[in-house]
Amino acid sequence: MIELTSIPDLKGWVRSRRREGRRIGLVPTMGFLHEGHLALVDEAKRRADVVLMTIFVNPLQFGPTEDLSRYPRDLARDRRLASSRGVEAIFVPSEAVMYPPGSEIRVIPGRSADRWEGAARPGHFAGVLTVVAKLFHLVEPDVACFGRKDVQQAVLIRQMVRDLDWPLELAVVPTVREPDGLALSSRNAYLDPEQRKRAVALSGALQEAHVAWRGGERSAKAIEERARRYLDAYPDIQVEYLAVAEPEALEPVQEVQATTVVAVAARVGLTRLIDNVVLGEGVA
């Protein structure tokens, strides 16, 4: 596996792969890799000939009071995991490479960013779309893979690809979970053992919503209530939002269908976690 840190080197690598006629799959990450990230690699391998992973903790998508400086990092371990999963190259740029002095232009998301994560984290999605747009331009991937774990991010990237006419294929990969249901996340590293046990309540609440759906419940309000009541049993878990929304733009709905998304953001201690489920599928 080759490690690239500069834009000229990245472009050189991309040019060589193109000359060989190979399809390039892009997997953007912030590193501290886990099986969720590696599932994106597997999907990229299925859809392309070579996989390029990017590892960049993007400061633009962190608010001033968020966890940018303490975000977990372990590049040596990331190298090992990516390489053993068949990643051909990693792009690990510094902040100065991605945002040289004077770089001020941002990609502004549409209305789908006004609610849920976007409301809780002002500016977050402009930061996400800006870095993803840069990576799309630099790599011109044939396919780019993202996780359904960050469902609103996936929705907004799909809208950006559509609205800015990007000639690429998007793959959105189902959420990879711990055996007890907790969605894998680099931020799970912040949880102490007690918090880790309680964090399973997020996926538990989503599964509760799924069970209500399976039992014939079709009212979004009732589904939301079921999930909320489930979380109420955990007094030290603070719910930020519980969304019951359609999958295209995450607009709230009144009546649910199999494709309706139920998404949750909550704090377990100081750690902010998110998760979601497609109602008809449940937490697999």
**Interacting residues with ligand AMP (CB under 6 A):** 29-30, 36-37, 39-40, 146-147, 149-150, 173, 175-176, 183-186
Q: Please state the closest distance from residue 183 (CB atom) to ligand AMP, in A.
A: 5
Work out how close the CB of 58 gets to ligand AMP at its nearest, in angstroms, rounded to a whole number: 8
Is 88 exposed, middle or buried (CB count within 10 Å of its CB: 0-12, 13-18, 19+)?
A: buried
Q: Is 37 a catalytic residue?
A: yes
Minimum distance from residue 15 beta carbon to ligand AMP (Å): 26
Q: How far is the CB of 255 from ligand AMP (least distance, A)?
A: 28
Q: Residue 230: how many CA atoms within 13 Å on its side-chain side?
A: 24
Minimum separation from the CB atom of position 31 to ligand AMP (A) = 6
**Do β-strands 143-147 and 261-268 pair in parallel, antiparallel, or remain unpaired?**
unpaired
Phi-psi region of 181 (alpha: psi -120 to 50; beta: other; left: phi over 0): left
Is the Cβ of residue 196 or residue 218 nearer to ligand AMP in the bound state? 196
The answer to whether 268 and 199 are in contact (CB under 8 A) is yes
Task: Give the nearer residue to ligand AMP in terms of CB position, either 79 or 226.
Answer: 79
Catalytic residue among 37, 124, 137, 210: 37
Cβ nearer to ligand AMP, comparing 39 with 227: 39
Q: Which residue number, 199 or 256, has a Cβ lying nearer to ligand AMP? A: 199
CB of 173 to ligand AMP, least distance (A): 5
Residue among 30 and 244 whose Cβ is closer to ligand AMP: 30
Cβ proximity to ligand AMP: between 87 and 183 the closer is 183
Catalytic residues: 37
